Amino acid sequence: MSEVVRRDGGGLAARWRSAWLAGTPEAFGDCCRVDVMYQDPLEPEPLEGLAALAAHAARLHRAFPDMRIEDAGPAVIDGDSACLPWRAVGTHRGEVGALPATGRFLTLHGVHYLQLRDGDVRRARGFFDLYEVAVQLGLLPRRGSLGESALLMLRGFGLLRPRA
């Protein structure tokens, strides 16, 4: 294992965030390989290629037109691997799949783990709490609430006491 972990200094992380905000194949081409593979909790199957990744970003922009993506910590690169923590904020004003706009404001923390080749993203995997997204959009009860206990009971987990 490498002993030297270098900080990104904003290079790759800034290009990655800019690509998500632009939502175009050209913007993703500035930091990704043409055959990039991408996965996150919103996509049931991996996406392949700049156009598919840009289309995913464009869908998110239609759902959250005021979306901002910010640093949530230092980007860390170690050889051909990178970790980019982020925070996205925006108002849900458009459809996401079959879900109509809720008008609710969302604050979401996540991280992208990247596999690099020659400094460009070859594979990317996004991680964030989809349950928390559903709570903030008013679709599921808050964790530790009586509503969560009732939901778990209906699912066969028995009655759980709400956390204090």
Residue-averaged pLDDT of the chain: 86
The pLDDT value recorded for residue 2 is 45
The pLDDT value recorded for residue 157 is 63
For residue 34, the tally of other CB atoms under 10 A from its CB is 11
* pTM for this entry: 0.81
The domain at 6-128 falls in which architecture?
Answer: Roll (3.10)
Instruction: State the Cα angle at 104 between 99 and 43, rounded to 5°.
Output: 40
* Residue whose structure tokens are 């990317």: 124
Q: Is the pLDDT assigned to residue 47 strictly greater than 60?
A: yes
Query: 49-53, 69-73, 134-138 — which is least confidently predicted?
Result: 134-138
Chain segment 84-128, per-residue pLDDT in tens = 999 999 999 998 877 899 999 999 999 999 999 999 999 999 999
SS3 assignment, position 129 = coil
Interstrand relation of 47-48 and 32-39 (parallel, antiparallel or unpaired): antiparallel
